[in-house]
Structure formats: structure tokens, C-alpha cells
Structure 1
Amino acid sequence: MARGKIEIKRIENSTNRQVTYSKRRNGIFKKASELTVLCDAKVSIIMLSSTGKLHEYISPSTTTKQIFDQYQNTLGVDLWSYHYERMQENLKKLKDVNKNLRKEIRQRMGEHLSDLSVEELRDLEQEMESSLKMVRDRKVRNVEQIHKNLLHEFDARDRDQHYGLVDNGGDYESVLGFSNGSSPVFALSLQPNPPNDLHSGVGSDLTFTLLE
């Protein structure tokens, strides 16, 4: 059965469009490879899909630049000068941006202020005040977070009734003081070192507090 003639128009379905592009691209590359072998031709094909993907075929033992150079020599045109000029323009813009940024940094450090107008000085002052406010707000948030962490830690200690008590075999009075109540009472809290300190030979820290 003969294949029906396909109408040449844009394929609306994106999936079918991508499948058709992939199949026909491979077919074109295959024909280019055959042409290179059969006719000893230099072929370079660059294709961009609708999704922006780049596909390229280049004859073996050659490069795209060599073909473009030969193309320029044949037609007497310069394809690289335009791109070189664009690159030079972009480089100049980047240098200007870098120069302005360095100038702003020096001005924020109090240098080269004589070149600024009154309005520019006011703008600089507002920017400095805004930056200072941001730094202060950040420091306040850090302090609040530290305070919150400390409260959380103290709350955890309050919930643990055995926190800070030393287990000396069950003799609680010998730890906290004397049974007659006439002598001062010493409270001991044990703060164990990390496990690594046990191997280093460093003992736990004992804190003695005199309770009036």
C-alpha cells in the first residue's frame, strides 16, 4: 500500500512534532554521512529544535570552524568580525559595571565623596542608614534566637528532676549536706565532658555551690 502524501504544515501536537523532528533529523544526518563518503564532500549541519536543543553533524576529519572559514573565503565575507565586535561591546559594559561598583564601595568607605553632588550624598546617606538597619535587625534576630535556645535548654533542665544530681550509691544526705541541718549545705552538679574526653584522661567538671 502506498503511503499517503503528508501535508507540509506545522504539527500542532508538541509530542508528534518532537518525534517527527527526531526522525527526520536522523534521516538528514544519515544522508549527510552518505554524501560525505560517496562524494568526498565536507558537510556541516546545525539544527535547533523547538525546545532549544542543538544538534550538529560535521564531516569526519574536519571542524565547523574550518568549514566556516572556507565559506568566508569563498563568499568574501567575515562572519567573525561581527561576533568579535559584540564580544568587545559586552566586555566594555562589564568593565563599566565593575568600575561603578568599585567606586560605590570606595564611597561607602568614605572615599571620593567630593565628586558627589548634594543629592547623591543624601542618597548615599539613606543607603548607609538602610544597610545599618538591616545589620541591626539581623543582630537582634540572632540574639533573640540565642535567648530562645537558652530558654529551651533551661526548660529541658527543669523538666528533668534528676538533672545535676550525683549518684553516690544512694546516700543523698552525704551529697547535699548534713542531716542535722546546722551546717552549710553544698550542692554538687555534675557536668560530664564529651565521650572523647574520657579517652583523653580528662575527668568531669564538678561545680560546688554554697547554699545559704
Structure 2
Amino acid sequence: MVRGKTQMRRIENATSRQVTFSKRRNGLLKKAFELSVLCDAEVALIIFSPRGKLYEFASSSMQETIERYQRHKKDVRTVNTLMEQNMQHLQHEAANMAKKIEHLEVSKRRLLGECLSSCTLQDLQQIEQQLERSVTKIRARKVQVYKEQIEQLKEKEKVLEAENAMLCEKYVRQPQEGSNEDRENTCTEGSDKSDVETELFIGPPEGRIKRTPSK
């Protein structure tokens, strides 16, 4: 079972309040001393009793610690001031950016032919002139792109013509080389046939007499 926190209130009885003050004061001074020794911390403690009596503890020098505290507070205030000024500047910049974005959105819609009811004659003339300038730039860019594509096609045409010329030359040479090879093969076969010796024999096989050429 979780118990709720007890609400702390002022002790109404003066005697009990004084006894509690003495106990808590001594415990607080003891803890401050232990903290300075165990943790090597610079500690300064100032206590005023309900009657205005001063109790204090300082691990080094109370005056130096107070001066250090004041310097730190001054530095913190300076940093906070700079941060606040920077925040205000950022908020101002954000507001300006929001206005610029809104203005650009309105201009964009007007260029698209929207939200023209609030435009004056001068505004409409400015929009018309802006559109004409935009169309002129677009057309100039389109002409430039056309020219670049034409140049690319011309270069591609030159490459294709060169390839076509090479193929034509190769096609013209191929039949001549083939005819030369055929002639060489024919000559080779004729020479092989001339080397074969043929003999004519008359009569039965056992009575074949080899004819010798006459001297």
C-alpha cells in the first residue's frame, strides 16, 4: 500500500519549533561539513534563526565564496540575456520568413490565374509583363534545346555514315576473296588428279601383261 506524502506545515508550538530548529540546524551544518570534506566541494552555508541570530559555515572563505556566487549569477544573467535576445531575433526572422512565404504563395496563385479578384489594374499589368518575360525565356531555352538536339543528330548521322561506308567496302571485297579461294581450290584438285597413274590391261586377269613403253 502506497502512503501519500505528509504535507509539511509550520510548527505552531514555539518550544517545539525551537527544539526542531536546533536539531535541524546542527544536522545541516554537519552535512555541509561532510560534503566539503568527502567531495572536495566549496560549501558556504548561512542560517538566520527566527530571532535573527546568524549561523554559518564555509569550507574556505565565506567572502570569496559569496563573490564567486555573485560572479556566477552575473554570468548566468548575461547568458540568459543573450539567449533571450537571440530568441527574439529568431522569432523576428521566423515572422519575416512566414510573411515572405505567404507573399510567394499569393504571387504563385496569381501567376496561375487564381485570386485575381483583389488585384488592381497595375497589379494585373505587372503579372502580364512577368508572364511575357517568362514565356520569352522559355521559348529561348526551347530553341537552344532544339539546336543541341540537332547537333547531336548530325554527329550521330556522321557516325552512321562512316559505319555504312565500312560495311559497303567490306561487302565489295568479300566476293573477290571468295572467287580467289575457289580458283585456288580448283588448281589444287587438278594437280592432285594429275599425280594418279592409270594403266590399261586387256585379257583375263591371270594373263595380264604389263605394257612397257617403247624406247
TMscore range, shorter length: 0.3 to 0.5
Give the TM-score normalised by structure 1: 0.42
| Greater strand fraction, Structure 1 or Structure 2 | 1
Q: TM-score, normalised by structure 2?
A: 0.42
Q: Report which of the two structures shows the higher radius of gyration computed on alpha carbons.
A: 2
**More relative contact order, 1 or 2 (CA 8 Å, 6+ apart):** 1
